[in-house]
Amino acid sequence: MGKPAVILLSGGLDSATALAIAGRDGFDLYAMSFRYGQRHAHELECAKKLADAVNVKRHIIVDINLATFGHSALTDQSIEVPRNRAVADMSGDIPVTYVPARNTIFLSFALAWAETLGSTDIFIGVNALDYSGYPDCRPEYIAAFTQMANLATRAGVEGKQKLTIHTPLIQLTKAQIIRRGLELKVDYALTSTCYDPDETGAACGQCDACQLRLKGFAENNLKDPAPYRS
């Protein structure tokens, strides 16, 4: 039996890869997903399949309603998901798909679960290179969360082993992430990246997330195995 680790698993390409890396590193896998008011539940179906595929010890889906707060194209139907933006334009301003404090909320729940599991390891598939527009994907944010977390819990007070937040993808390009995942046999056909898939789960191919993903596969001279609508 390995050490337990909590892995934030959205069902997307990045978190599927982070899950595979945690498995390769010998951790017992505890995967955590969120039903948070996102536009579509398709990514949660993907998360379930991905968790099954690697035999996690447990997969939980936590219900929280971030749509209460709105202010993001991912949780507010009245804000449109941007389409066909050039990849070069994506790294400036914070995009409308940013969900306020989402990673902070997700990591807080992961921290709670880790504490009850006696785990000191959390994996999150954040990426600062290909999507620098999100404030809560930056290395300095992760470092600050770790410092806070080590003061927040029993382990922190009792001077036990410190928490590590593993961000194995943070400095990789999308193409590098895909290469890493394929070495670890991640089935990317099971992952969902699109901000606005149709009811069958087929991706749009035009939102920022689809474009970055397609570029990553193209740079590896590969065809993305996930379904796209034509």
Segment contacting its own copies (CB under 8 A): 18-26, 38-46, 154-162, 201-209? 154-162
The nearest distance, CB 210 to its own copies, in angstroms, is: 24
Determine contact, residues 203/210, Cβ cutoff 8 Å: yes
The nearest distance, CB 156 to its own copies, in angstroms, is: 6
Calpha distance 60→53 (Å, rounded): 15
With respect to its own copies, which residue has the nearer C-beta, 94 or 218? 94
Which residues lie below 8 Å from residue 166, measured CB to CB, with a gap of 6+? 5, 18, 21, 22, 121, 122, 123, 124
Residue of the chain from 53, 64, 129, 182 that contacts its own copies (CB under 8 A): 64
Segment contacting its own copies (CB under 8 A): 123-131, 144-152, 177-185, 207-215? 144-152
Instruction: Give the CA-trace dihedral at 62, 181, 73, 70, to 10 degrees.
Output: 20
Calpha distance 77→9 (Å, rounded): 23
Binding site for its own copies (CB under 8 A): 60, 62-66, 68-71, 94, 98, 100-105, 108-109, 111-113, 115-116, 135-136, 138, 140-141, 144-145, 147-149, 151-154, 156-158
